[in-house]
Amino acid sequence: MKQQKKTFKEKLKNEMLKSGQFYVKLCFTILFAVIFVVIFVSNNGFNYCYATIYGNNFQSNPFQIHFIDVGRGDCILIKLPTNQTMLIDTGEEEYSLRVCEYITQYMIAEDMDKVDYFLITHPDTDHIGGALKIMQTFEVVNFLRPPVISISEYERGSYPEYGYDETYTYDNVINYAYQNQITMHFAIDGMSLNLGECKITCLSPTEEVKQSSNNYSVVLMIEYQNKKFLFMGDCENSIESRIVDKYGNNLNADLLKVGHHGSNTSTSQKLLDAVKPQYAVISTDGNSQYFPNAKVIERLNNANSQVLSTAKMGTILFTIEDNNIVFAKATRPPNYLAIIFACFLTIVLIVWENPFKNLNMPYFQKKIAK
């Protein structure tokens, strides 16, 4: 073995270094390594480092909606045409890692670095369970919430005119926002944001709503390029009726985020008659006869809406192309990078020749002789 080491050192010194062959091979190796790194980065190779499948089907499109699969919960990531990001809800806490990985990949692919608008529609854990993790992981610029106060706010006597939620999950989220000086806004009927060509309007709740946590849900209408997207949170029939009575035909939308995961307490015929959605998206796990309810599916089919469910499709993406709404399922593309890497290793071995050919390996020699 010592003799082999000596022979290799002598060969390196007397042949390769002296003739310059070593430096030629080293340069070729560095060149191929740089080429691989460039291909890896330009093809979002970092996505292969995550367990969560990221949908880059509409990468670089100025407007995207990602309905992230978080079981029977809501989590919607939106890329706005102002090159800003909005996140609506997070799903249960158990999905925190999935959501964080998805947002991280989104930020790498779209060259983003923060969540500009983070909205929690109402305090139920299937909507805010991962909110604290999101705020700890990403920079949040604006935090939007319904007119519902937390335990700590109630004890301080803040906003006595609003409803009250007694869960510690919601209290922890609100306290974190206060402690880290995140700008907070109450999302109330009539509030609007004009972000370039995109308009976001809050249709519910009103300050007077004090019925149930589901009916506290923030309802948003997003308008862009003559297309409208309506997000109903978990609002139930009574709130739907109020919204229809107030907004009437203005509720007409191309896409409806179905309320309360397809429960029969929501998506009334009155709402569908006003909205007339081309697409209806249901965020659910599909493990219950109530989510989605058969009657809701029947009403949506009768309304000629194309029903899409995260239970069947996983994460679903939407965008606008040529003035049409298009959608896709988030899938991981074939790992061509693995093939490129294998080719890279092959080239390196060829350049450096077989480094094992001079090793004395009696075991393998005996096997070959047999």
Clarify whether residues 214 and 129 are in a common domain. yes
Sorted by sequence, the CB contacts under 8 Å of residue 252 that are 6+ apart come out as: 228, 274, 275, 276
C-alpha distances in Å from residue 166, one per residue of 37, 124, 153, 155: 51, 11, 10, 11
Instruction: Name the residue type at position 108.
Output: I
C-alpha distances in Å from residue 164, one per residue of 153, 172, 202: 9, 14, 20
How many folded domains does the chain comprise? Answer: 2
Tell me the residue range of the domain where 140 lies.
54-329
Q: Is 321 exposed, middle or buried (0-12, 13-18, 19+ CB in 10 A)?
A: exposed
Q: How big is the chain by its Cα radius of gyration, in Å?
A: 28
**The pLDDT of residue 295:** 96
Mean pLDDT of 147-174: 94
Statement: residue 4 has pLDDT above 90:
no
**CA gap 53, 69 in Å, rounded:** 10
Clarify whether residues 127 and 153 are in a common domain. yes
Clarify whether residues 231 and 347 are in a common domain. no
Q: What is the pTM of this model?
A: 0.84
**Confidence grade of residue 207 (pLDDT, cut at 50, 70, 90):** confident
What are φ and ψ of residue 328, in 5° steps? Answer: -155, 155
Alpha helices in the chain (DSSP H): 2-11, 17-19, 21-42, 96-110, 125-128, 131-137, 151-156, 168-179, 237-247, 269-275, 294-302, 310-313, 336-352, 362-369
- Model confidence over 221-275: pLDDT tens digits? 999 999 999 999 999 999 999 999 999 989 999 999 999 999 999 999 999 999 9
Closest CA to 52 of 108, 115, 100: 100
Residue 316: strand pairing partners: 67, 329
Clarify whether residues 140 and 238 are in a common domain. yes
Of 87-91, 114-118, 177-181, 335-339, which gets the smallest average pLDDT? 335-339
Clarify whether residues 6 and 154 are in a common domain. no
Clarify whether residues 250 and 277 are in a common domain. yes
